[in-house]
Structure 1
Amino acid sequence: MRRRALAVLLAGLLLPAGLAGCGIPHESEVQVDGSGPAAEAGALNGSPARPPTPTDSAEPGPFIENYLLAAAAGEREQAYARVKEFIAQEAKSRLREKQQSSEIELTVVRLREKPEVTPPNNQGTSEVTVKVQQVGVLRADGTLAPPVANETEYVFKLRRAEPAGGGLLITDLPNVLLISDDALRRYYPSRTIYFWNSDQSRLVPDLRYLPLSMPAERRVTEVVKWLTGGPSDWLAPGVTGLPDGTRPINNATGADGHWEVNLTMPGANDERLALLATQLAWALPELSGQLDLKIQNQQRRTVDLEQERAAHAAYPAGDLPSRFTVYDGAIRPLAIGNEPRSGVPLAPAANRNVVSAALAHVGDQVLAALVVTDADRKQRLRVGSGPEPVAVFNTSARAYGAIGRPTWLRSLDKDQPAGLVAADGKLYRFDGTGAMSLVPLAVPGPVVAVAGSLDGHRIALVSGGALYVAAVSVDGGVVSVGQPRRLVTLLTSISAADWVAENDLVLAGNEADRRPAIHQITVDGGRETPLKRDIGAEVTQLAAYPGGAVGGLPSLSYMYEANRTAYRNNPLDTIKREQVLDVPAGSRATNPTAPFFLY
């Protein structure tokens, strides 16, 4: 098979090639200055487009929509000042301000429908009710934490501004800083920072949000502060933070491709500085040139950022992806356009009675996990590994009523492969021997699906019709799963999910009208986009390709099964019988099912 490195798609915001120095004193504490309102998406350094202002609409409904879109969005130090521009003088005291900027958090909500407006009374006051879904809390460290509020609607009261013609002002409002998920999408470009796994052999992504209005020269400082502050809460069990007590001494500076970061770091030996250098190179993908790492003002390491990224890949090398499906109880290759094709890497004797499968490449080895039916129509897990074609398999001793599609955890240790699978409503770990051991989980409802990320230390779970993410630690072959975090979604009765990008999932479930659909959602639930609607039947299998190999499949490629028929999205179409390769004569004519990718 042809081998190529996966080209990791990072969602960093591009900075100018040269950033001016900040002019910060040599030994000052890190300063975070307030700034103006957020800019429209695509603008740089807060210009040229501007967000809505209080005078942009004199209609109560659109006025509140603008308030949720623009008032609190932007750099947190000026959030209250921006919000008060929308509030009448007599009502400003109702909004109790946080004294420290680090305490300022934004409640992100999704509008379920257009605001309901009560017509103005004789005094010219009106009332606007907004029905919402709580999405999360945007913290000062750029993380979107799970929602803490449970309100499903908010009520605002408004009056005409004085003098006449001056628009509207809010006279009563919730005592919380609110922004809509549309504001998050427009004014907070996503960034990815990285933490090492427990044995410091693999980088694990951590999604953050940075205000678009933040001046360019401060963005590097903010990323450094995020790294020293540690991982997101849900990700912490699967990664290793910097040593306790690590903090920036002053703001990062840079000009003409030469950058400087000054830190306090206990135990800052050469090994720790090398690991930090790789983290910084990948967390700042827009930077080129050199970066000087200083510890307590002493020059300790100079990093060529581009060379560092080239020498230490964020993810392991992999194959160009190939598509497969299950046809008449066996895994078969698919022929889709000019995409790469490969033969089934299994011995024919093992490729029988297959319901679903997960295949993965680790170096020159193939990992194979097959869900098969036995003589009693029960299901078992059959696991094998080795150079292709894999011929030796071990089968689980216990039979189950229903087993979901397995997932391999892409560990660097090919001698101790491990994976996860949902069986009869519970989550199990499996290894190369085929033995399955229960993984305890604090989630309600039966677990019906699990999917592992490209880095191998994050999983998505479907349990009780809801979507969860969790961190995974693999230590000496022992797999432990952190506390799952439930994601807020527009879909209900979720049936399947998989990773479609570094920080994005595809999920299948029902929309508000109960029609089955497939959506894309970020790993924190902050951004959700419909991909395919009106599917017509429940999605029972969903597989995606999260990479983007050079010359390979397009990004965001996925396939799914509904009503015992397989589909793909690139281009959107049914997977036809004639696209299934290597079907032996005499096979039963049927529909392709359980499609998946091998890479």
Structure 2
Amino acid sequence: MRRRLLAVLLAGALLPAGLAGGCGIPDRTEVQVDGRVPAGESGSLNGSGSQPPTRSGTEDPKEFIRDYLAAAAGEREQAYNRVKEFIAPEARSRLPKRQSSEVELTVVRLLEPSPEARLLTNEGIWEVKVRVQQVGVLRADGTLDAPVARDTVYVFKLRPADQGSQGLVITDLPNVLLLSDEALRQYYGTHTIYFWNSDQTQLVPDWRWLPSAVPAERRVTEVVRWLTGGPSDWLASGVTKVPDGTAPINNATGSDGRWEVNLTMPVATNDRLSKLATQLAWSLSDLNGQLDLKIQNQKRRTVDLGQERESHPRYPNLRTPLRFCVYDGAIHPLAIGNEPVGAVPVAAADNRNVVSATLSRAGDEVLAALVVTRPDQKQRLQVGSGRGEVTVDNKSTRLYRSIGRPIWLRSSDSQHPSGLVVADGTLYRFDGAGGMSSLGLSGSVTAVAASLDGHRIALIIGGALYVAPVSVDGGVVTVGDPRKLTTRLTNLTAVDWYAENQLVLAGNDGRQPAIYQTTVDGAVEYALKRDTNAPVTHLAAFPGGSSGALPSFSFMYQATRAYRNNPFTEIERAQVRDVAVNAKASGPSAPFFFY
């Protein structure tokens, strides 16, 4: 009963206000939601604020180990001591050596609702096995790096506590500091900080974890330390660090709408301070008020946080999303409920033999990329751009057996539009003229999706999920080293960005095809649709916030037939607009958003 209550409380803590009542709790630890995101987004310091468990007097070995897997959560200064309380004195040497506050935690996903416990002797000696999936290494700066350990089972031995104390203690344990993903969700909040891209024209999000017990007045200090400490390892090659030598002189001070930050910064020009002010405003998006920015004790700038965010939006070109699909080999608008319906911006002469498509914007221009089929069943990429009706007559010179859904990279460089597409297992860059060049990634790539900022991508390589940074310089696209993410799903088939730091993905959930959601670091995942009846071959999401009649975290997919979420419903023929009288009867396919 205690664990069931914990799961219910956990779900309510993570869901946005007003959504907790619509969530069902499945048999396993993740929460199943109907297309709505339970994990926090930008600046969301969710979590209970409660302290992790200390050793109790319980004699239940399963409950004891579950508490042990949460004891290392929270602020690092106390984590090591909390963990030691669970361990018998003779076994404490098995713990990793503590080095100041740089305590690294091995985060694991529990694959079973409860550990497996076996009584070894009548003297109360227990063996407890925990089957896990390695999620990553949580570092002191709140980043979750790729897993280092490869263990899938951890074995503990327990004995009764010494005379004068109740409960159990651990006598044999792994020599790593473990943290369950359940404890990560309960005792940490999420926070997004922002770095500039390579030409400092676009902010790029970086996802962090902050103990919920950290008081509000210290959050400004933590954000400043994160920014000056640099981006997450996997993102570093795609963003610009703050100038070398920039560091906090002391803790940030203030509260109630007025803060002060004191830094060292070599060559603190007005331009550098302006860029830093925008970074701080968005990295502190949960705060309003004024922030005095000092350089070596001299006030150089006062930042109105709310006004700075209003003057420098993260995604200035974001428009109201419109739904489209392919019907009888052509792009058509979709009419869903009260949502606005758009007109197809592609010239009718080019809107033929279409398999899949994408539409995007670069300034005032529309970008179109279509995958078309020839009579010999070979496929070709055709692209075009323009204002008003777009002629899509720039064709790739090479033909392919199969081309995935193309994507345009949203970038401020409207003079050099570029995108990514997967063809015959290889990831290619394409430009506005239809030219394609391989990006040289190893392994069989089957899907690619781009974030709203255009500088992070998700990939499916060899049936597994990866994320990678992207740099765009004068239309030249460079992809950094992909980082593999952990998920319960296997044999992945499709992925897209579901929100700023969330992915929606499709694959096999044990014995059936399913759709899940996961964070950009793979730490927290939820089942969105347990059984899609057939494998998902196409998936498209809207990664922005609420806009008009379209709810947040919306996606559409194809699993033989086309569907949408919010709620999960098949897309019907009657919802396809502008179909010719003599069109061949078929079902809607390859649905996508234009925004």
Per the normalisation by structure 2, the TM-score is 0.91
Q: CA RMSD in A?
A: 1.4
Tell me the residue number matched to 1:480. 478
Contact 2:262 2:296 in 1 (8 A): yes
Deviation per CA, 1:338-371: give whole Å up to 9, x if none.
0111111111111100000010122321100000
Give the distance between the partners of 2:207 and 2:463, measured in 1 at CA.
Answer: 24
Partners of 2:472 and 2:582 lie apart in 1 by 44
1:561 matched to 2:558: yes
Matches within 5 A, 1:87-486: 87-102=87-102, 104-113=103-112, 114-163=114-163, 166-441=166-441, 443-444=442-443, 446-486=444-484
3-state DSSP class of the match of 1:159? Answer: strand
Partner of 2:30: none
Are 2:573 and 1:574 aligned? no
TM-aligned CA deviation for residue 393 of structure 1: 2.1
The CA deviation at 1:294 is 0.6
Contact persistence 2:47–2:188 (CA under 8 A): no
Shift of the 371–55 alpha-carbon distance from structure 1 to 2, 3 Å rule, reads same
Conservation of the 8 A alpha-carbon contact between 1:321 and 1:552:
no
**Counterpart AA for 1:409:** L
Deviation at 1:252, TM superposition (A): 0.2
Is the 2:446–2:493 contact (alpha carbons within 8 Å) kept by the matching residues of 1? yes
Once the two structures are superposed, what CA deviation does each residue of 1:180-238 show, in whole Å capped at 9, x if it has no partner? 01111111111000000011000000000001111222111111000001111111111
Q: 1:542 aligns with which of 524, 539, 544?
A: 539
1:501-552: CA deviation from partner (whole Å, max 9, x where unpaired): 0000001000123x10000011110111110011121110000000024324
AA matched with 2:567: P
CA offset at residue 177 of structure 1?
0.7
Q: Distance in 1 between matches of 2:294 and 2:520?
A: 33
1:398 deviation in Å? 0.8
Instruction: Give the whole-Å Cα distance in 2 for the aligned partners of 1:174 and 1:413.
Output: 51
Tell me if the contact between 1:320 and 1:552 (Cα under 8 Å) persists in the aligned partners.
Answer: no
Secondary structure of the equivalent of 1:280? Answer: helix
TM-aligned CA distance change 1:469 to 1:282, over 3 Å: same
Instruction: Give the Cα separation in 2 of the matches to 1:96 and 1:398.
Output: 55
Compared with structure 1, are the counterparts of its residues 120 and 392 closer, same or farther at alpha carbon in structure 2 (3 Å cutoff)? closer
> Structure 2 CA distance, aligned partners of 1:486 and 1:129?
26
Match of 1:416, SS? coil
- Cα distance in 1 for partners of 2:429, 2:461 equals 16
Counterpart secondary structure, 2:211: coil
Q: Quote how far apart the aligned CAs of 1:255 are.
A: 2.7
Query: What amino acid does structure 2 have at the position aligned with 1:250?
Result: N
Match of 1:583 among 579, 584, 591: 579
Partner of 1:67: 68
Structure 2 unmatched runs, 5+: 1-39
| 1:12 equivalent in structure 2 | 43
Where does residue 528 of structure 2 map in the other structure?
Answer: 531
Amino acid in structure 2 at the alignment position of 1:595:
P
Change (3 A) 1:383 1:491: same
Query: 1: distance between equivalents of 2:593 and 2:183?
Result: 35
Give the C-alpha shift of residue 67 in structure 1. Answer: 1.2
Paired residue type of 2:43: G
In 2, Cα distance between equivalents of 1:256 and 1:537: 53
Query: What is the percent sequence identity of the aligned residues?
Result: 66
Q: Is the 8 A contact 2:535 2:559 kept in 1?
A: yes
Other-structure match for 2:590: 594
Superposed CA deviations along residues 436-468 of structure 1, whole A, max 9, x for unmatched, are 111111x43x11111111001011111110111
After superposition, residues 30-41 of structure 1 pair within 5 angstroms as none
Q: Structure 1 residues 98, 164: closer, same or farther in 2, change over 3 A?
A: closer
Q: For residues 303-332 of structure 1, give each alpha carbon's deviation from its aligned partner in whole angstroms, at most 9, with x where no partner exists.
A: 111110000001123221111110010011
CA distance in 1, matches of 2:542, 2:364: 20
Q: Which amino acid aligns with 1:452?
A: A
Distance in 2 (CA, whole Å) between partners of 1:56 and 1:181 is 24
Partners of 2:295 and 2:469 lie apart in 1 by 31
**Residue of structure 2 in register with 1:26 after alignment:** none
Runs of 4+ in structure 1 over 3 Å off: 41-44, 50-53, 162-165
Aligned to 1:38: none
Give the drift of 1:402: 0.2
Question: What amino acid does structure 2 have at the position aligned with 1:112?
Answer: L
Q: Is the 8 A contact 1:320 1:549 kept in 2?
A: no
CA contact (8 A) 1:80 1:97 kept: no
The one-letter amino acid paired with 2:577 is L
2:252 counterpart letter in structure 1: A
Partner of 2:349: helix, strand, or coil?
helix
How many residues are matched? Answer: 555
How far is 1:164 from its partner?
7.4
Change (3 A) 1:56 1:160: closer
DSSP-derived class of the 2:564 partner = strand
Give 1:258 deviation, angstroms: 1.2
CA distance in 1, matches of 2:391, 2:91: 74
CA displacement at 1:166 relative to structure 2: 1.2
Query: Matched residues in 2 for 1:179 and 1:42: separation?
Result: 16
Cα distance in 2 for partners of 1:99, 1:183 equals: 23
Letter in 1 for 2:555: Y
- Residue 392 of structure 1, CA deviation: 4.6
2:509 is aligned to 511
Structure 1 residue ranges without an equivalent (≥5) = 1-8, 15-40
Shift, 1:120, TM fit: 4.3
Question: What TM-score do you get using the length of structure 1 for normalisation?
Answer: 0.91
Tell me the distance in 1 between the aligned counterparts of 2:173 and 2:255: 45
Q: State how far apart, in whole Å, the 2-side matches of 1:150 and 1:318 are.
A: 41
Q: Which amino acid aligns with 1:257?
A: G
CA distance in 1, matches of 2:59, 2:552: 43
Aligned-pair CA distance for 1:391: 2.1
Deviation at 1:264, TM superposition (A): 0.7
What's 2:6 paired with?
none
Going from structure 1 to structure 2, the CA distance change for 1:392 and 1:92 (only over 3 Å counts) comes to closer
Preserved CA contact (<8 Å) 2:362 2:417: no
The residue number in structure 2 matching 1:18 is none
Equivalent-residue separation in structure 1 for 2:342 and 2:74 (angstroms) = 49
| Distance verdict in 2 for CA 1:141–1:165, change over 3 Å | closer
* Cα pair 1:346 1:391 within 8 Å, conserved: yes
Helix, strand or coil at the partner of 1:234 = helix
User: C-alpha separation between the residues in 2 aligned to 1:298 and 1:470?
Assistant: 39
CA distance in 2: counterparts of 1:53 and 1:261, whole angstroms: 35
Q: Determine the C-alpha separation between the residues in 2 that align with 1:550 and 1:539.
A: 26
Shift in CA distance, 95/51, structure 1 to aligned 2, threshold 3 Å? closer
Q: Deviations over 1:6-25 (max 9, x none)?
A: xxx943245xxxxxxxxxxx
Do 2:72 and 2:177's aligned partners in 1 also have CA atoms closer than 8 Å?
yes
